[in-house]
Amino acid sequence: NFIVQLDWAPLFSGIAFFLLLSYADTILTLPFSLYNTFSVEKRFGFTTQTLSLWIADLLKSLVLNTVLLGLLFGALLWLINAMPAYWWLTGWLFLLGFSIFLLYISPYVIEPLFNKFTPIQDELLEKRIKETMGKAGLSISRVFTMDASKRSKHSNAYFTGIGHVKRIVLFDTLLKNHQPDEVLAILAHEAGHWKKKHLLKMLVLSQVFTLAGFYLAYHLTSGDRIALLFRLDNPTMQAKLLLVGFLASLLLFPVKPFFALLSRRHEREADRFAVQLTRSTRPMAESLIRLSRDNLANLHPHPWYAAFNYSHPPIVSRVAEIKAYRP
């Protein structure tokens, strides 16, 4: 009602509505974020982040989210007004293109706002990385180190880039805590995801659900059904979309275990690919053991909890499968 009373144009009032929701969510989660970073993570010796850095990250994220969410919701609301019969399709196409655009520019524009990336200093390791990735069919343009240690002692590595040409980013904590063979095994695992087209498969599957969600949202918001169901006094489009989002979260909850199961299957396939590429089970197994030890992973989670929530297989069974695998 507050936004309605401002008497702004529908497009700008819609953008303001969703931005205010985003700000409210940030405010509500602030205490939990602070507690997690400076109590839980600190208690177990993980966090290295200062309060000033945490505040700087928060402010940067607020500005970034304001720009990106403003563009996203502004475009979607404009499409709803300009193409009332087909916005579910054009909106989905825009969201898909917007996501791919962010995926492309993130390593060059967004990630450097939060971390410093420097070329890896170990030339021998860089050479071995490029040779190993070359065997998998990947052309590595650059290998970078990221200063992850200024926030946390957790380790990771990831690829960026679209197509065959990739950039590799290694957390400085990974280089500090792992042997070169283990680093190669971790990257071989990531190469397995690309080789097996796991990211593409998950993207296609998620977009099918997204398109279905947009089509459902179109039908629910085109009439007064959802307004009557929730007894809306002022059934604006943004209010209807918010309620559709709530309903979608309920409908997607039963699907969550399916996505988790598919993700665990992909992880096992990538593990086997890493063993094949490195021709040894030892580096992959030892890297996982070290990661689980350093991150205090739950070695024996409840099977039902793991089935619903784990995107990776539990570490004990995962290492056992790797050691038993014969390439």
Q: Are 277 and 191 in contact (CB under 8 A)?
A: yes
DSSP per-residue string spanning 188-244: HHHHHHHHTTHHHHHHHHHHHHHHHHHHHHHHHHHSSHHHHHTT-SS--HHHHHHHH
Q: Are 155 and 170 in contact (CB under 8 A)?
A: no
Under DSSP, the state recorded for 254 is G
Q: How many CA atoms lie within 13 A of 87 on its CB side?
A: 19
Owner of token pair 């580096």: 283
Q: Are 256 and 311 in contact (CB under 8 A)?
A: no
Query: Which helix (DSSP H) or strand (DSSP E) does residue 248 occupy?
Result: helix 237-252
- The yes-or-no answer on residue 111 being catalytic is no
Q: Are 209 and 216 in contact (CB under 8 A)?
A: no
Instruction: Output the six-digit token pair for 187.
Output: 């990257």
Return the number of other C-beta atoms located less than 10 Å from residue 187's C-beta: 27
CA–CA gap between residue 14 and residue 8 (Å, rounded): 9
- The yes-or-no answer on residue 271 being catalytic is yes
Q: Are 311 and 270 in contact (CB under 8 A)?
A: no
Query: Which helix (DSSP H) or strand (DSSP E) does residue 144 occupy?
Result: strand 139-146
If you count DSSP H runs as helices and E runs as strands, how many of each does the chain have, helices first?
15, 4
CA–CA gap between residue 270 and residue 274 (Å, rounded): 6
- Catalytic hit among 172, 182, 271, 286: 271
- Catalytic hit among 182, 190, 267, 286: 190
Q: SS3 of 125, please?
A: helix
Active site residues: 190, 271
